């Protein structure tokens, strides 16, 4: 679980860097739907990190979903589908980092399911 916690924390840092006014993101979005999508994904990320300590049974599947959604959002942002305009150079670096961290989360989450038996 330690590696999963590390990569979940790295994803929090990556998403913080991609927040307008906080990190390197310079685009402003008027798309309320994407704000909700990012908000729900961030809350799921926080919940997953919390479940790595308390609800280990659910941490793996939720981490798999969070990693897949994070990778999908980063790829969509690279192509300008989330903000309506292409990502600036600094955000490309943040998005590529997010894709790498998301891939690591998905990889760890798939391995976690094989080594941790689901007991009732």
- Nearest 5°: CA angle at 20, between 34 and 14? 85
Low-confidence ranges of the chain (pLDDT < 50): none
pLDDT at 113 (0 to 100): 57
pLDDT at 54 (0 to 100): 87
Supply the DSSP string of 66-105, one letter for each residue: HHHHHHHHHHHHHTTTTTSSPPPHHHHHHHHHHHHHHHHH
pTM of the complete model:
0.88
């Amino acid at each position: 679980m330690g590696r999963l916690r590390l990569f979940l924390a790295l994803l929090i840092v990556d998403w913080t860097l991609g927040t307008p006014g906080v990190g390197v993101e310079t685009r402003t979005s008027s798309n309320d739907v994407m704000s909700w999508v990012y908000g729900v994904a961030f809350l799921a990320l926080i919940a997953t990190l919390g479940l790595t300590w308390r609800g280990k049974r659910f941490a793996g599947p939720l981490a798999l979903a969070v990693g897949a959604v994070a990778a999908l959002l980063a790829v969509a942002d690279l192509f300008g589908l989330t903000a309506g305009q292409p990502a600036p150079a600094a955000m490309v670096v943040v998005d590529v980092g997010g894709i790498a961290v998301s891939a690591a989360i998905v990889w760890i989450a798939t391995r976690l399911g094989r080594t941790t038996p689901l007991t009732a």
